[in-house]
Amino acid sequence: MPSKNDLCRWGQDVITTEILALTEIKQYINDDFARACELILSCRGKLIVMGMGKSGHIANKIAATLASTGTPAFFVHPSEASHGDLGMISKDDIVLSISNSGTSAEILTLYPVIERLGVPVIAMTGNPDSAMAKLARIHLCIAVSKEACPLGLAPTSSTTATLAMGDALAVALLQAKDFTADDFALSHPGGALGRRLLLKVLDVAHTGSELPLVDQHVSISLALLEVSQKGLGMTGIINEQGQLVGLFTDGDLRRTLDQKLDFHTTSISQVMTKEPVVLQDNLLAAGALKLMEDNNINGLFIVDKDRQPLGALNMLDMLKAGVV
């Protein structure tokens, strides 16, 4: 039975080797990479990603990443393609074929048919002199000096490099298309990620009669009553026109106690926080969360362009909604 030190050392050696592999493939983000991006950006159809074995698993993930970041793509298994699935490919598409050796027989069998369709091929291989590389319109090199497997057999460093090259493609294309968080949300509606990306602040906020508001001329004691009744740990302060002019929170209360003021006679306007941080439109809840974190605050108001209060929320509301 190997020692714990041996197990940790072997694991660390793998990470070190794969870091080296990623450093090596950085040189291949070059003119060929840019040409591949330009070709995909000009595509009127879809990007068809192919790979066999371990490369197939990586190809499937690359296709999923591309699809979720604004580049229509899907994985086609080369063996299944030979038995009918090739019909999924149209003349407006592009094929991205992946093989570390560049000699995948299942993929090379498809090349003549793909060529006949007039579909351009981008090959991603570890061998620029391979048949797949030479027959492709563009070749993306993913060559690494060694696998992390001590036998040099199990695809390890090479699959890591391939995945990283696929991520580089996806992210470069995302940026070229000005793909936004809202665009990303449309393809990720489910689960915690969907909640973070799709929920608007007014979906989470307290509105109407639940909104804690007092006039700027009321006493501190009346303002505290509003804070207590509405349960948000704060109240907004409004002027005669109904505009939000201030905020009074639990933190303001602690600071006010040190001043030894008469809470029944002192106006709330004398101790409120003036010009508080607000949201001025119905942003994503995730944006409100970032605003609160950046300003180290636990709650805020949503106002319209005339600073009329529309809603209020705090960090607990974010937690309940699953945004945090």
CATH of the domain at 254: 3.10.580.10
**Tell me, what DSSP letter sits at residue 211?**
S
Question: Is residue 121 domain-shared with residue 30, that is, in the same domain?
Answer: yes
Is 195 contained in some domain?
no
Give the pLDDT mean for 300-322: 88
Give the pLDDT mean for 220-249: 93
User: Measuring CA to CA, which residue among 141, 282, 259, 269 is closest to residue 205?
Assistant: 282
Residue that wins the pLDDT comparison between 259 and 96? 96
CATH of the domain at 109: 3.40.50.10490
pTM for this entry: 0.65
Domain hosting residue 267, numbered range? 201-321
pLDDT bracket for residue 80 (50, 70, 90) = confident
Question: Is residue 99 domain-shared with residue 233, that is, in the same domain?
Answer: no
Using the structure block, give the residue that is written with the tokens 């209360």.
253
Question: Is residue 30 domain-shared with residue 155, that is, in the same domain?
Answer: yes
Question: Is residue 99 domain-shared with residue 19, that is, in the same domain?
Answer: yes
Is 184 contained in some domain?
no
Amino acid at 309: P
Domains of the chain: total: 2
Question: Is residue 208 domain-shared with residue 249, that is, in the same domain?
Answer: yes
d(CA 38, CA 109): 27
Is 297 contained in some domain?
yes
Residue 136: CB atoms within 10 A of its CB come to 23
Please give the pLDDT value at position 131: 95
Q: What share of the chain in percent tops pLDDT 70?
A: 93
pLDDT in tens, 100-143: 999 999 999 999 989 988 999 999 999 999 999 999 999 999 99
Domain stops at, among 179, 211, 232: 179
Q: Which helix (H) or strand (E) holds 290?
A: helix 285-295
Is 190 contained in some domain?
no
Question: Is residue 22 domain-shared with residue 71, that is, in the same domain?
Answer: yes
Question: Is residue 120 domain-shared with residue 161, that is, in the same domain?
Answer: yes
Amino acid at 160: T
Is 187 contained in some domain?
no
pLDDT bracket for residue 307 (50, 70, 90) = very high
- Say if CB 304 and CB 224 are below 8 A apart: no
